[in-house]
Amino acid sequence: MELFKLIGLLVLIVGFALKLDAILIIFAAMIATAIAGGLGITEFFTILGKSFVSNRAMMIFVIIMFVTGTMERNGLRESAAKLIGRSKKATPGKVIMSYGIFRAIFGAFNASFGGVAGFVRPIILPMAEGAVLSKHGEVDENYSEEIKGMSAAMENITWFFWQVLFVGGSGALLVQGTLKELGYSVELIDLAKVEIPVAIFALVVASVYFLLKDKRLEKTYGKNIKRGE
């Protein structure tokens, strides 16, 4: 019976394996876990409501996911792909690099857009794939998988390094607390100053890497598309 309480994990695995809507999968897993744990639907929504009230700032992330999911259902992905498809010079690497710069700036102010599931998947990924579609008319499946990895990686890199620049943010406080336990007393403003060159270096290296990989992927999969393979 204890294993039955892990049914939410099974829902996540099966849902993502079938490539169903991410937001729907997560919400279904939450409800399944609540029922399996003996909470019931009513108590589940009661706890969810109390958590929302006591953690308003954190729940903004949930709201963004619901809004993004609704927009995606009504053609957000298609619109994003068409937008970038108008530019013949656009490539997946350039799209992802541009997003990295944009993400870094907002990350420095600790502003989150919903992460990979809430923003990258429904907006950035279709735009990157749209750049391929505008040039070749279709996207090789392996090419698409590579683009997914690049898009998610840029999100993780920029958020990881740039959020620490926000004085008082969770990332900065975590680093400060860890250093304090090791016997080093560091002010948050000093920590941000030290992190600035590190964050810039991480963004530059990631951008250059993705641009170089972009050219390699175009040579590899672009030819296959033209041949119809």
On average, the pLDDT of the chain sits at 81
> Does pTM surpass 0.85?
no
| Residue 126 pLDDT grade (very low, low, confident, very high; cuts 50, 70, 90) | confident
- What are the two backbone dihedrals, phi and then psi, of residue 186, each rounded to the nearest 5 degrees? -125, 130
Cα–Cα dist 215/218, whole Å: 5
Which positions ≥6 away from 149 have C-beta within 8 Å?
none
Higher pLDDT, 165 or 171: 165
Confidence at residue 227, expressed as pLDDT on a 0 to 100 scale:
46
| Residue 153 pLDDT grade (very low, low, confident, very high; cuts 50, 70, 90) | very high
| Residue 71 pLDDT grade (very low, low, confident, very high; cuts 50, 70, 90) | low
Within 10 A of 16 (CB to CB), how many other CB atoms are there?
12
- Long-range contacts made by residues 167-174, C-beta under 8 angstroms, separation at least 24? 167/192, 169/110
Nearest to 199 by CA among 169, 222, 224, 220: 169
Cα–Cα dist 20/58, whole Å: 25
Handedness of CA 223, 99, 77, 12 (dihedral sign): positive
Confidence at residue 172, expressed as pLDDT on a 0 to 100 scale:
82
E strand map for the chain:
none
Helix (H, G, I), strand (E, B) or coil at 108: coil
pLDDT tens figures, 209-227: 999 999 999 888 876 655 4
Cα–Cα dist 4/158, whole Å: 38
Confidence at residue 73, expressed as pLDDT on a 0 to 100 scale:
65
